[in-house]
Amino acid sequence: MTARRNFLLGAAAAASLLISPPLHAQDTVKVGLVLPMTGSFASTGRQIEAAVKLYQQQHGATVAGKKVEVIVKDDTGTPDLTKRLSQELVVNDKVSFLAGFGLTPLALAAAPIATQAKVPEVVMAAATATITEASPYVVRTSMTLPQVATPIADWSAKNGIKKAMTMVSDYGPGIDAEKAFSDTLTKQGGKVENLRVPLRNPDFAPFLQRVADAKPDALFVFVPSGVGSIFMKQFLERGLDKSGVKLIGTGDMTDDDLLNDMGDVALGVVTSFHYSAAHPSAENKAFVDGFKKLNQMRPNFMAVAGYDGMHLIYEALKKTNGATGGDALVAAMKGMSWTSPRGPITIDPQTRDIIQNVYIRKVERKDGELYNVEFDTIPNVKDPVKAAKM
Ligand code: PHB
């Protein structure tokens, strides 16, 4: 490089410094958002990323004098990749938060990195009860399966369901859902038979045949977000909608992202869950309207957990005056309460898990669209698995 060119470049750099002083590295707080953006669980990544974008559009990208920069990484739903990407985000990008985590094995893969680096891991999707115990830096804004599955078992007992079958995806949250539902209904005199379906590329047909043969009063289903429409299609193809077996479950099955495309087979399905796009509150109306306008789709429970996860990050930074030590941030998050689009929520100061209302809902057609319409509320539900240990 010639001396003249060097001089010119130096002068240009000096001029740009005068025009816009660059933010110092310590003026930017980075959030590493690790999500399945491709593959079978891409809808989870799409919903959470869209909600994070909405939160920043509404609240700005600066909090406590710091610019909040979100770095999205696609782990494709593969735990080894989640682990490597989380490590790179901590070591190379120096993120102050890890967030996202679309499935239980992905959240668990990142937990040792959060512990080692002392970086908060904000779990926005994964929902096996034990995840918060995998690291003292895990804080959750989604749900736990025992938290949302127990109320539908109580509802079943009260509504004459004596003989039930469960059909769950065969991994952490499915096993949690199966146990919570079965134990709760059995204690109230019910009989329950359990079926487990592989998580990846599920074929429900042989299991649905067993349900058709056994003719229980109800079939309880847990499938993770994104899988409900495959299940519903096979339920319809087997003629189970006309068999007299009542279809119930957690709201993952009647996910707001998929519900409209399921058609009439979904009408009347009763589920218990923490979020419905039809939740009647001013906060939810504003959230749903803003989300649809920005992203041209209906938000589901993944979106609301992503939105609340960003709120938790922003409010924790306000409390620490922008300081980014992981211990201070987690301490700031513990016990935090606010009104989410889903209703009132609190981060349990003992467990770092979420305390929230669980609603009983029924699929109905409203203004030509299918919605999970809430008709009963169980307020301030803690994760029952951890509550039983305390
Ligand atoms: C999970 O893997 O923990 C998980 C994923 C999606 C759900 C529920 C649980 O809808």
Determine what percent of the chain is predicted with pLDDT higher than 90. Answer: 93
Q: Which residue has tokens 């859902």? A: 177
Check pocket membership of 300 for ligand 1, CB cut-off 6 A: no
Note whether 356 and 343 are within 8 A (CB).
yes
Ligand 1 centre and the CA of 321: distance in Å? 34
Spatial contact of 331 and 367, defined as CB atoms under 8 Å apart: no
Output the CA–CA distances (angstroms, integers) from residue 77 to 96, 193, 252, 257, in the order listed: 23, 30, 17, 19
pLDDT of residue 145: 98
Chain centre to alpha carbon of residue 46: 12
Instruction: Please give the model's pTM, rounded to 2 decimal places.
Output: 0.94
Please tell me whether residue 368 adopts helix, strand or coil conformation: coil
CA of residue 132 to ligand 1 center, whole Å: 14
Q: Please state the separation of Cα 312 from the chain's center in Å.
A: 14
Tell me the pLDDT tens digit for each residue of 209-226: 999 999 999 999 999 999
The answer to whether residues 230 and 169 touch, using CB atoms and an 8 Å cutoff, is no
| pLDDT (mean) for 185-194 | 98
Kindly list the distances between the CA atom of residue 269 and the CA atoms of 90, 137, 155, 173, 196, in Å, as whole numbers in the listed order.
43, 37, 13, 21, 20
At 30-65, the pLDDT tens digits run: 999 999 999 999 999 999 999 999 999 999 999 999
Please name which of 132, 62, 93, 48 lies closest in space to residue 300, comparing C-alpha atoms.
48
| Residue bearing the CA closest to ligand 1, atom 7 | 224
What is the C-alpha to C-alpha distance for residues 238 and 321, in angstroms, rounded to an integer?
Answer: 58
Exposed / middle / buried, residue 244 (Cβ in 10 Å: 0-12, 13-18, 19+):
exposed
- With the most atoms of ligand 1 within 8 angstroms of its CB, the residue from 104, 253, 385 to mutate is 104
Task: Give first-to-last CA distance, the chain, whole Å.
Answer: 69
Q: Which atom of ligand 1 is nearest to the CA of 252?
A: 10
176 ligand 1 Cβ < 6 A: no
Residue whose Cα lies nearest atom 8 of ligand 1: it is 224
Ligand 1 centroid–CA 255 distance in Å is 12
Residue 308 CB coordination number (10 Å): 25
Task: Calculate the alpha carbon distances from 139 to 40, 99, 308, 327 in Å.
Answer: 25, 10, 12, 12
Kindly report, residue by residue over 68-121, the tens digit of the pLDDT. 999 999 999 999 999 999 999 999 999 999 999 999 999 999 999 999 999 999
Name residues whose C-beta falls within 8 Å of residue 103's C-beta, 6 or more positions apart in sequence.
Answer: 36, 41, 44, 77, 125, 126, 224
In this prediction, residue 23 carries a pLDDT of 53
CA of 181 to the centre of ligand 1 (A): 16
**How much is the pLDDT for 50?**
98
Q: Which residue has the tokens 């080692």?
A: 116
Select from 339, 359, 390, 385 the least CA-distant residue to 144.
385
On average, the pLDDT of the chain sits at 94
221 lines ligand 1 (CB under 6 A): no
Tell me the pLDDT band of 17, cut-offs 50, 70 and 90: very low
